[in-house]
Amino acid sequence: MNKAYKFRIYPNKEQQVLLAKTFGCVRLVYNYYLDKKINLYKDSETSISYTNCAKDMAQLKHTDDYVFLTEVDSVALQQSLRHLDTAFKNFFSNPKIGFPKFKSKHKNKKSYATVCVNNNTSIENGCIKLPKVGLVKLKQHRQIPSDYVIKSATVSQTPSGKYYVSVLFEYENQVQITKPQTFIGLDFSMHELYVDNNGNEPAYPRYYRQAEQKLAREQHKLSKMQKGSNNRNKQRIKIAKLHEKVANQRKDFLHKQSKQIANAYDCVCIEDLDMKAMSQCLNFGKSVADNGWGMFTTFLKYKLEDLGKQLIKIDKWFPSSKMCSNCGNIKDNLQLSDRVYHCERCGITLNRDYNASINIRNQGIFINC
């Protein structure tokens, strides 16, 4: 099994320069061979494999125009080629993903990945050793078991200028899968994140909505500043920190909620929703993104798996909202504005989301059995 831990790192000025070079070289290699693949297919309708790209890159390093590629971690450059190869494979297996795009240096996302070879990556004495970079100060907020083996590391820089490293470990899975005894059904709620079959709601604070007015004010200031000026860069960092704070608040809330549920129940039942489609067709983009339902289900899944428990996803076409949880009657029509469910057959009246969560739990129990 694999597990990744993300730590904040504090490189010195020389290391920051080298990391910036690595980010740039990784992006250059990706774009160079993406352009080469496109032109090769246009000319002869043939492609070039990862192995041939790696051999060509080895020769490219010895040319005068690209000799600077030797200054950075060679494994990081090879990983960039692997990412390009994976992007093409994903596109051909599912064209909806989209054709691989060129990476822009004007984008805020900066990262590179390296593989642990001959113990060139290790964590020791509050520092992490990275290829070419050397020992970098590390904020290790949790202990790592002694039997965990480092497989790879991904170094990234946030738009606010902070540096992080995500270290992937390999370990032997010793979790015993238990037969579920306690079940809970969760129905997605736009306002409260979810409603469970016990009628509980987590009272999601909606962090983005709280900061939206302040963000709009600061972004308006940014729009008035001259491009390339120091004041504009300072304002950009200020806005990036606001966005980062909102994201961290959301992650903290979702981690705590998913941990509580994973500890309390053996099996969690949810609907397999397409949140992107929901945000587009219903014009609820900001609210859906602020809730972070997809992130919540991801956290929930790995926390349950670590404890030997299960996450069951109900088909999105299952009529959880239209079905009566008491008698099983299914309504022909139910509008989104109808927040109260009333059954004409048995006469029961329930909150719409509460009724749906009971149906989701019952369907999860049926699937598990």
Q: Name the nearest CA neighbour of 255 among 183, 184, 202.
A: 202
Helix (H) or strand (E) holding 252: helix 230-264
Per-position DSSP letters for 70-95, written without gaps between them: GGS-HHHHHHHHHHHHHHHHHHHH-G
Please identify which of the residues 85, 266, 290, 353 carries the catalytic annotation: 353
C-alpha–C-alpha distance, residues 76 and 180, integer Å: 43
Residue 279 structure tokens: 């945000």
Please identify which of the residues 85, 187, 196, 290 carries the catalytic annotation: 187
Q: In this structure, what DSSP letter does residue 109 have? A: -
Please identify which of the residues 73, 85, 196, 271 carries the catalytic annotation: 271
3-class SS shares of the chain: helix, strand, coil, % to 5: 45, 20, 35
Beta bridge mates, 2? 170
**Would residue 187 show up in a list of annotated catalytic residues for this protein?**
yes
C-alpha–C-alpha distance, residues 125 and 138, integer Å: 9
Q: In this structure, what DSSP letter does residue 176 have? A: P
C-alpha–C-alpha distance, residues 167 and 3, integer Å: 8
How many CA atoms lie less than 13 Å away from 335 in the CB half-sphere? Answer: 2
Kind of pairing between the strands at 127-130 and 340-342? unpaired
Residues in the chain: 369
**Would residue 45 show up in a list of annotated catalytic residues for this protein?**
no
**Would residue 271 show up in a list of annotated catalytic residues for this protein?**
yes
C-alpha–C-alpha distance, residues 108 and 54, integer Å: 27
- Return the residue matching tokens 């520092």: 127
Burial 225-259 (b: 16+ CB within 10 A, else e): eeeeeeebeebbeebbbbbeebeeebeebbeebbe
Burial 117-155 (b: 16+ CB within 10 A, else e): eeebbebeeebbbbbbbeebebeeeeeeeeebebebbbb
The residues assigned a catalytic role are 187, 271, 353
